[in-house]
Amino acid sequence: MPYPFVLSIPHCSHRVPDDIRPAIALTDKEILESVDRGTGEIFGALPAAAVLRAEWSRLVVDLNRTPGRLDEKGVIAKTDYHGRRIFYRGSEPDKEQTEDRIDMYYRPFHEKLSGRFENPGIKAIFDCHSLNGTGPRDAPDAGRKRSDITLSNYGDGHGKRVPGAGGITCPPDTMNGIKEAFEKSGFSVSLNYPYRGGYIMYHYGHDFETTGKIGIQIELNQDLYLDGSSHMSSKSRLAEVGKKIRDSFDAVARLFEGPL
């Protein structure tokens, strides 16, 4: 029986189309640093009702941004999280190229994602990410060590609504039940820090408030499975973390028991 969840994995790819690559000033290794390492292998292996993986790098188009956001960290970012310029000067996409890129690489993913919610048995969306073990330069927690798991619902450190900051995408009692499931698997868990949620959570999760469905952004600490010297994934550690994540999701799914 699949989990009654939709899993979105928007930053799992390093691929850049051949016609875009010459405009990007970053090396292949630097492009790889923008990938949410491990998310495809770990979250992509879970038996959810629907799993949507990004086909292209977030440097091509960021699926976790509103399509109208065109700033430095917008739908087509100008700098990466290490503060490096992504494009050679004079090669940044213009308005027409931006619109074409959104039509070609952004909208198809979101059309598929929204279509998966038509199944009435879907109980939740999990937007799946990974992050550096220590906050990089442009992060809100720059230089700070991070928990194994960060769960976000646009709330506070207890999953509760932040006054004046809008709604939350998951009730606090459910949020804390999910937190407990990960903690029982041996993970340290932070709620809404360093991130309270991104566009996918905001756009889809808030729509769920009146439907009884929930949305949660999950961030997995890459230090759990990356080799500290080479920054490459350790197959054995990936497998170990993947099993613990599977055990956690098994427990989470039991909170939503019922047929699809």
> Would you say residue 231 has pLDDT above 70?
no
- 3-class SS shares of the chain: helix, strand, coil, % to 5: 35, 20, 50
> Would you say residue 258 has pLDDT above 70?
no
User: pLDDT tens digits, residue range 10-28?
Assistant: 999 999 999 999 999 999 9
> Would you say residue 259 has pLDDT above 60?
no
Q: Which residue has the tokens 């820090």?
A: 193
DSSP 101-118: HIIIIIHHHHHHHHHHTT
User: pLDDT tens digits, residue range 199-227?
Assistant: 999 888 776 666 778 999 999 999 999 97
User: pLDDT tens digits, residue range 103-158?
Assistant: 999 999 999 999 988 888 899 999 999 998 998 887 889 899 999 999 999 999 99
pLDDT tier, 260 (very low <50, low <70, confident <90, very high otherwise): very low
- Give the Cα separation of 160 and 107 in Å (integer): 32
pTM exceeding 0.85: yes
User: pLDDT tens digits, residue range 152-194?
Assistant: 999 999 999 999 888 899 999 999 999 999 999 999 999 999 9
pLDDT tier, 255 (very low <50, low <70, confident <90, very high otherwise): very high
- Supply the pLDDT for residue 250: 97
> What is residue 207's DSSP assignment?
G
Sheet holding 48-53, edge to edge: 48-53, 3-9, 124-131, 214-221, 149-152, 189-191
User: pLDDT tens digits, residue range 68-110?
Assistant: 999 989 999 999 988 899 999 999 999 999 999 999 999 999 9
Domains of the chain, CATH where assigned: 3-254 (3.40.630.40)
